[in-house]
Structure formats: structure tokens, C-alpha cells
Amino acid sequence: MSRNQVLIGIVVLALLVLGGAAWYVLGSGSGDSTTLSPGGGNGMTTATADDRTLGNPKAPITVIEYAAPMCPHCAHMNEEGIPVLKAQYIDPGKVFYIFRVFPIGQADIAAESIARCLPADKYFQFIDLLSRNQAKWDPENGITDVHGGLVAMGRIAGLSGDQVDQCIADKGVQKHTMDVAQDASTRYGVTGTPTFVINGEVQTPGAPWPDIKAKLDSLLAKK
């Protein structure tokens, strides 16, 4: 995780606290406000009704990943670590995985809004699509027509341009994303991405996959 990325995360969260962020939004949109449900006690966090998850909630290890669609380090983790995490830990019932977007830039709000327009079982496919195609939509890759890039990603997922715009303009999803980010900051002190929380313990922001794997193996060895 770069120093600039940490600073971006801090700035975004400052805007969230002030409640006046000028997010990347098209039109006035509609949608009911949503709030983040409380997590579990004793340092553990349980999934909320709005979370996107993989695996068995009764698994011995709960992993929360705070990530951003724009984040290049998250994209690297998505390519290197997440397939192994799913195959070796989630699918065998060792890990319950919770994915939460922690925006580091305005386009993350729009990207998450599109992802949440899709059926829940298509959510991770779209996050993966965004991750693998950052060069086509991410402003950090020099893209000037971010909206056009996101529309193109939405069309791959089966949405029309008008539907993508409606998704981006959903104020309820915007608020939910901001609530998740504020909760991450308050509960875990998250300032950058990716940040993993394993059984309630916050890992070093930007920790590489081998470090995350070592932590999981250490915990499993004690079970």
C-alpha cells in the first residue's frame, strides 16, 4: 500500500465524517437510507444482512477484507491470494469470508453501486471484473472517461447504460458504502487497502498474501 493511497483513504474518510463528500454520482437518484448493523462482541465482527460473503458462517475463522475497486494492491491480492483463499480455506469450510468496500477515491463509490445492482450471486464476479480491468476504467490508470469505462464494465455484466446510471445514482447504496467505511475506521482504524481482519485482529494494511496465509495457518494449527 503506497503512502499516497493511505493519504487518499484518510481524506475520503474525513469527507465521510463531514457528510459533505462530492461523490462521483450521476443525477439525483433515489433509495432508502441504510445503516450498518452492529457487529459481534469480544473483538469479533459478524456479517450484516448487507454484507457480501463466501463460505460457511460457522467456519472457525472469519476473515474480513476491506478493499477498493480502484486499489492496485487489492487487484494484485485478487489475482494472487483470493483464488487460493477460496480454494484452500473458504471452500473446505475453514474460513468465512466477508468482503467490504473501503473507498479510496470517488470512483469506488460508483463501482460499488453498480456491483450492488447485480444479483448477490453475481457480485464477486463483477468485483473480479473491475479488478482485472482497472486499466479500462480506473482514474489511477490515467482514464479520463471514468463513467464511460464503468458503463462498459456494467454492459459486460448485462446492464444497459441507463441501468448503470441508475445504479450509480442510488443514494441508499452511496450512504451504505460510506457507513461501511466509517465503521471500518471507527472499529478497526482502517486507513488504506487492502486491510484484512482475521478473527477480529487487524492485520498490517497492505500485507502480502504469504503473510495472510501464514496467519490463517497459524490459527488453524491451534484448532
Per DSSP, the three-state class of 134 is helix
Task: Give residue 81's identity as a one-letter amino acid code.
Answer: G
Note whether 216 and 81 are within 8 A (CB). no
pLDDT value at position 46?
80
Which distant-in-sequence residues (6+ apart) come within 8 Å of 177 by Cβ?
Answer: 101, 103, 108, 109, 112, 113
Note whether 25 and 150 are within 8 A (CB). no
pLDDT value at position 160?
98
pLDDT value at position 223?
79
Query: What parts of the chain have a pLDDT lower than 50?
Result: 1-11, 13-43
What pLDDT digit, counting tens, does each position of 153-166 carry?
999 999 999 999 99
Give the span between the Cα atoms of 197 and 151, in whole angstroms: 32
pTM of structure:
0.83
Give the span between the Cα atoms of 14 and 177, in whole angstroms: 14
What structural domains and CATH numbers belong to the chain? Answer: 3-221 (3.40.30.10)
